[in-house]
Amino acid sequence: MRKASIKWMLFTVLLISASLVAMWAVQFKAKYQHDVFRADHGNKQYTGVVDENESSVIKKTLNKGKPKKTTKTNKVNPVDEVNPVDYYCNFPRDNDIFTMQEGVGQKGWKLKQVQILIRHGDRAPLNYAAYNKFRVKPNFCNIHSDYYSEKYKLVSKYRDNILKDLYTDGAVYFTHPLPQAILCSPGQLTVFGALQQLHNGLLLREAYVQKHKLLDAFMLNETIYVRSTHVRRTYQSAVAFLYGFVPDYHFKKIPITFTNSPKFCENHCVCPKAQSIEKLVKEKQYRIYVDRQKKNSAIQNISRIVGIGDHTGQQIDSLVTGYVCKRMPLPCNKDGECVDPSQLEVVMKEQERLNEITRLETPAQNLALLVMQPFLENLFNQMKQVIDNKEGHKKVILYSGHDLTVTPVIQALGLPDYRWPRLGTRLVFELWESTTGTHFIKIILNGVEVTGNTSFCPERSEDCTFEAFANYVSNIGQVFGFESRSAACRS
C-alpha cells in the first residue's frame, strides 16, 4: 500500500512538472520577438535578424552611397560621442547600430587569417556590498527564465541549440556552457553578456565567414582554434561568440582549450622585472588616487551614499556594472540621497584620466610590453604559420579573456585608448596578402580600425606590413637595452 501511494505521488509530480514545462514552452513561443540590429560596414549597412534557418543569420541590406541616417532607430553614434557609461555597458538594444570595419582590405588583397581577442560580456559585479545593502536580487544570469532572454529570439535559439548538443553528448565539460544560475554569483556572465557575444559573433561572421569565406565547414576543427582563460564567464563568452560566428554551430565540433593566465603568456609568465615595475605603477596610481579621487566630490558623495570605497574601480564595478549595465535604477540611501548618472560619468572619466596619466609614463608602458610580449609573439607565430603555409595553420583564432588581457595589449600596441575596455570588447588582428605577395596587418578595436594609431605603424593604416609588426614584437627586449625579453625580465 505504501509503495502504491508513492507511485501515485511520483506520477502526480511528473504530471505537474510536465504541464509546467509545456506552459513555459508555450509562453516562450508567444513572447518571441525579432532581435534586430544593424551594422555599418564600409558604405553598406547590414540588418541582422535571426533567420528561421540556422545557417544564415544576417541578412544584408545594400545601401548605395552613404548609409541612411535613421531617426527611428537608435542613432549612429561615433564611438566617442557615446557617454562613457553607456559605452562601457555596451547594453544590447533592439535596433542597435554597430560600427564594423572588420574585413575591409585594399583592392585585390586577400584575407589570410584573423585573430580575435574578446573581453567576456556583461557580468555580475565582483563586489556585492551595494547589492547586499540595497537587497538586490541578481537574477540576470539565468538563460532559462530571465525576462531578457525571452525577449530575444537569438538568445532563445542559442540556448535551445546548446542544450540539445549537451544532452545528446555524454561528455563532461569544464563548466556549463550557458549562464544558468538562478541568482548570479559575483563575476558571473549575464544573459546580456551572452547576447553581446552573440552579436560580436554575428557581425564577424558577416565579415569573415560570409564575405571572406575563412571557415571550411567540413574542417572546422582544423581551421579554427579557441583559447579561453579558466574562468566560467570567458568560457561561456567563447561559446556564445562561436554560436554567432560559426554557421550551424555545434558545441562539440569546436574544442575550447585553456590558458592558465589572463595574460595568455603560457610558459613565459615568470618575469621578475615586470613585478618590480608593477610596484612602481601601483605607487603612481595610489598617488593619483590621493591627489584626485580623494578630492573629487562626486566620488566622495557616491562613497557616502552607497557605503562603498572611494576608488573609481570599485564604484564602476558596484554601480556601473552592478546597476546601469543591468538597467536598474541607481540606489538611494535612507535620507533620500541618490546616486546620479552624471556622477557616474565623472567616475568613468576619472578612471580614464588615471589610466592616461599612468600609461603615458615609462614604467607602465614598459610593464605592458614585458608582460604581453609572449602573447604578441604568439600572434606573430600564428601569422607566420599561415605565411609559410605550415601544416595545421589556423584561419581563425579566438582568445577569450578579461580586461586584464585587453588593457595591456592595447597598451603594448601603443594605442592611445585609455578607457576601461568595455564589456564584450573585441580586438581583431587581420593578416592580409596583397597582389604582389606582401603581407599586411590591420588592427580593429570594437569595429574601429586603429592600425594607424599603433606605435609600430603610426599613421600607416593603409600599409602596415607584417614585417613592421614582427620587428616590433621581436625587439621588445631592446627597449630595455637587452637582446631579448627574457634577458630583460631577469635584469
Ligand X SMILES: *[C@@H]1O[C@H](CO)[C@@H](O)[C@H](O)[C@H]1NC(C)=O
Q: Which residues bind ligand X (CB under 6 A)?
A: 51-53, 221, 255, 297-298, 301, 343, 416, 452-453, 459
Nearer to ligand X, 266 or 356 (CB): 356
Nearer to ligand X, 262 or 452 (CB): 452
Q: Smallest distance, Å, CB 8 to ligand X?
A: 45
Nearer to ligand X, 58 or 488 (CB): 58
Helix/strand/coil (H, E, C) string of 387-411?
A: HCCCCCCCCEEEEEECHHHHHHHHH
Nearer to ligand X, 162 or 489 (CB): 162
Nearer to ligand X, 51 or 483 (CB): 51
Give the residue from 60, 475, 400 showing the smallest Cα distance to 237: 400
Q: Smallest distance, Å, CB 68 to ligand X?
A: 24
Helix, coil or strand: residue 431 = strand
Largest CA distance in the chain: 87
Element (H, E) at 288: helix 272-291
Q: Smallest distance, Å, CB 453 to ligand X?
A: 4
| Cα–Cα distance measured from residue 266 to residue 258, given in angstroms and rounded to the nearest whole number | 10
| Residue 272 and residue 480 in contact, taking contact as beta carbons nearer than 8 Å | no
| Cα–Cα distance measured from residue 365 to residue 105, given in angstroms and rounded to the nearest whole number | 30
Q: Smallest distance, Å, CB 109 to ligand X?
A: 19
Nearer to ligand X, 51 or 216 (CB): 51
Helices (H), 307-340: 312-315
Those residues with Cβ within 8 angstroms of residue 94's Cβ, 6 or more apart along the chain or in another chain = 35, 36, 37
Element (H, E) at 239: helix 232-245
Nearer to ligand X, 53 or 71 (CB): 53
**Burial grade of 462 (CB within 10 A; 0-12, 13-18, 19 or more):** exposed
